[in-house]
Amino acid sequence: MASSLDEIFERALRSRIFKNREILLPDYVPDELPHRDKQILKLGSILAPALAGFRPSNVFIYGLTGTGKTAVTKYVLRRLERKASERVAYAYVNCRQNNTNYRVLAELVRALGRPVPFTGLSTAEVLRRFVEALERSRRVMIVVLDEVDYLVKSSGDGVLYYLTRLNADLSSSKLSVVGITNDLRFTEYLDPRVKSSLGEEELVFPPYTSSELEDILRMRAREAFYPGVLEEGVIPLCAAIAAKQNGDCRLALDLLLKAAEIAERDGRSKVTEDDVRRAQR
């Protein structure tokens, strides 16, 4: 048993398939995002005033799962941060994982370098610490609330209401909110005042087409795999399957990753269309 287990581990260490499997993970943000130039440029133009010390408009981003919303937002903010140096701060909060007002506010305080316990404080105290830390930073802060619908459904829109109106109480800093959701009916759950404030700008992400998904997979595959590992039909099949599921790029990447892992576990150096079909199950 031990020798068989060692063989599995050794095979993983000497992979003939993967150069870097992390390239295929959903949280990886590549240096290029094909077929999202329009969204990148629009979001960049909305957030650019932060570089000059002005508050950008709040943005509401929506589109189905796997349409590039999170990747584009992180891509733009990372480049903005490089240009901004100390003038701009940003916080990214996944509201599926942080679906209470306390957790969201605690993440914002931590993003400004202040510690907050996971429990034990009142929400009002965390709010106070956030405002204090933000004012001391003297920065324009961009807050990204990803999958924000999970927060609203779990805890209401109180934090959104507060954040979108906080600038009136700030003297040396500014705050902008980017809300991201794949629930196209999300705004129906919001107080009209929150909806109006959060939706100063809107950005829509359409589903990817099959050919667009192929382009994305080919670009990722060049970095993720050794040359000649994929059979010719593997990428088109992954793209076609994902295109039928609302153009979900996450699904396409996941299929490609799982298919390659199946081939690797079988001790092969070639990924086939049959591996993709097995990955579907």
pLDDT tens digits, one per residue of 177-189:
999 999 888 888 8
In whole angstroms, give the CA distance from residue 58 to residue 72.
16
**Is the residue at 139 inside a domain?**
yes
On whether both 13 and 66 belong to a single domain, the answer is no
The crossing angle, in degrees rounded to 10, of helices 249-265 and 210-224 is 40
**What is the chain's Cα-based Rg?**
22
Last residue of one domain, picked from the residues 150, 183, 205: 205
Q: Which of 181, 205, 229 is the last residue of a domain?
A: 205
Within a domain: 31: no
Q: In terms of residue numbers, what domain contains 271?
A: 2-25+208-280
pTM: 0.91
> Is residue 214 scored above 60 in pLDDT?
yes
Binned at pLDDT 50, 70 and 90, residue 7 comes out as low
Task: Based on the fold, state whether residues 231 and 184 are members of the same structural domain.
Answer: no
Amino acid 185: pLDDT: 84
- On whether both 98 and 198 belong to a single domain, the answer is yes
> Which two structure tokens, joined as six digits, stand for 175?
């705050």
Count of domains in the chain?
Answer: 2
Query: Domain holding 58: CATH number?
Result: 3.40.50.300
Answer whether residue 105 shows pLDDT above 90.
yes
49 contacts 200 by C-beta, under 8 angstroms: no
pLDDT band at 120 (very low <50, low <70, confident <90, very high): confident
Out of 205, 230, 256, pick the residue that ends a domain. 205
Q: Which two tokens stand for residue 106?
A: 């605690």
SS3 content of the chain, % helix, strand, coil (to 5): 55, 15, 30
90 and 131 in a single domain? The answer is: yes
Same domain, 76 and 148: yes
Structure tokens at 137: 């930073």
Residue 30 in any domain: the answer is no
Residue 102 domain flag: yes
Residue 58's nearest CA partner among 148, 119, 142 is 142
Does 44 fall in a domain? yes
Distance separating alpha carbons of residues 269 and 274, to the nearest angstrom: 14
What six digits make up the tokens of 245?
């599921």
Mean pLDDT of 155-159: 90
Question: Do 194 and 141 belong to one domain?
Answer: yes
201: helix, strand or coil: strand
Q: Within this chain, do residues 254 and 193 fall inside the same structural domain, yes or no?
A: no
